[in-house]
């Protein structure tokens, strides 16, 4: 067992965490974040058969800018099988979608709480697709999910696609303050880390922009509707927004970390002033902040008045990567308002969201 953090000052118990896909880039980000999080202790690391049985430092090609935590270097990597993760309170999955479905289901059926970064279960109606600063009310689905599968403790919660995670934060604030949204157009400039490792070939991305990320656009368009929607009357399934139309165009750009998104929004009713939009975004808060979750940012959104911000290199680490930076907020001559946002795609857009989801679940008694 690896002890990766000191005991928290709050009465919360420290949770033993298992990481699936621990050698990949999302798994590595999980390790970096969990190693400094007082709510968790890294207990088990899982990866493919190629890596299992080897010490982590030998199995992983470390790609984080932070040094590999000393406490995981000598840990022996295990197969991604529930029988090897006894003693874990929570499972974080950084698995690729090509293998995540069956493995994550096996862990859920073995009564583990699974927090997944993969796409496989995002659109299942009784699985919370949760950006933890936006829609933690969807955790009400866990009771229905457990009943459906006959679980006592196990469940699956997914976080969204990395580009969706940044988009829904300002959209949620605008929807809550000014009523339903009618149409949204978003154009993304997405960092290469979002493609994992080895990712995009250098000859494709250096001195270039690739105007296609396969499958990304329909994922964004569907996920926004589920996240910003509610639940059915019996709280057994999500009820995606029926009237909002979302159009996404996704591009890969030569930036390492940080997704930039240019957004145009039309409201169903009378549009707010630009001053009211800025105030709404600055003052937006979430339940994870209110209940004292360790990873919750002090500000959910950082609104910048500088005319040339946000920029990935300057703004991706706002709120330790858990805040969304929004700038260039102005009137739109076609829709009502337009702005540019930046989200750290491997923190709030991936591992950080899963970790905050688990913190929230623990605080609320789901774990």
Question: Catalytic site residues?
Answer: 162, 259
The H-or-E segment that residue 202 falls in is helix 202-205
Distance CA 169, CA 330 (A): 18
Half-sphere exposure of 357 (CA within 13 A, CB side): 35
Distance CA 239, CA 252 (A): 31
Distance CA 349, CA 163 (A): 7
Distance CA 21, CA 96 (A): 8
**DSSP labels for 336-349?**
SEEEEEEE-TTIII
Sign of CA dihedral 80, 117, 348, 128: negative
Sign of CA dihedral 214, 220, 221, 225: positive
How many helices and strands (H and E) does the chain possess? 11, 14
CA distances from residue 355 to 14, 76, 85, 107, 358 in whole angstroms, order as listed:
13, 23, 18, 17, 5
What does the block give as tokens for 18? 């298992």
Distance CA 96, CA 138 (A): 24
Exposed, middle or buried, 8 (CB in 10 Å: 0-12/13-18/19+)?
A: middle
Distance CA 57, CA 46 (A): 13
CB environment 27-51: b (16+ within 10 A), e (fewer): bbbbbbbbbebebbbbbbbbbbeeb
């Amino acid at each position: 067992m690896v002890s990766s953090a000191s005991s928290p000052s709050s009465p919360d118990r420290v949770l033993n965490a298992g990481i699936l896909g621990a050698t990949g880039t999302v798994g590595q980000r999980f390790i970096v974040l969990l190693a400094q999080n007082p709510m968790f202790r890294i207990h088990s690391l899982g990866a493919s058969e190629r890596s299992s049985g080897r010490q982590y430092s030998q199995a992983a090609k470390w790609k984080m800018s932070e040094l590999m935590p000393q406490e995981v270097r000598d840990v022996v990597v295990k197969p991604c099988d529930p029988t090897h993760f006894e003693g874990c309170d929570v499972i974080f999955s950084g698995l690729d979608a090509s293998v995540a479905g069956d493995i994550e289901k096996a862990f859920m059926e073995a009564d583990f709480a699974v927090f997944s970064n993969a796409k496989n279960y995002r659109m299942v109606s009784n699985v919370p697709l949760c950006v933890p600063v936006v829609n933690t009310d969807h955790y009400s689905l866990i009771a229905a999910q457990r009943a459906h599968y006959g679980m006592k403790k196990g469940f699956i919660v997914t976080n969204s696609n990395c580009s969706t995670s940044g988009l829904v934060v300002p959209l949620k604030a605008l929807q809550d303050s000014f009523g339903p949204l009618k149409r949204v157009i978003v154009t993304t400039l997405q960092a290469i880390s979002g493609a994992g490792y080895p990712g995009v070939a250098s000859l494709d991305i250096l001195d270039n922009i690739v105007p296609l990320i396969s499958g990304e656009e329909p994922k964004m368009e569907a996920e926004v509707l589920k996240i910003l929607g509610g639940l059915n009357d019996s709280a057994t399934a999500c009820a995606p927004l029926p009237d909002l139309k979302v159009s996404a165009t996704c591009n890969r750009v030569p930036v390492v970390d940080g997704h930039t998104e240019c957004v145009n929004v039309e409201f169903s009713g009378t549009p707010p002033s630009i001053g009211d939009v800025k105030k709404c975004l600055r003052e937006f808060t979430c339940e994870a902040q209110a209940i004292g979750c360790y990873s919750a940012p002090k500000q959910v959104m950082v609104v910048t008045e500088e005319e040339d911000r946000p920029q990935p290199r300057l703004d991706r680490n706002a709120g330790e990567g858990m805040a969304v930076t929004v700038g260039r907020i102005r009137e739109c001559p076609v829709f009502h308002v337009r702005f540019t946002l930046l989200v750290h795609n491997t923190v709030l857009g991936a591992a950080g969201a899963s970790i905050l989801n688990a913190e929230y679940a623990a605080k609320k008694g789901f774990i």
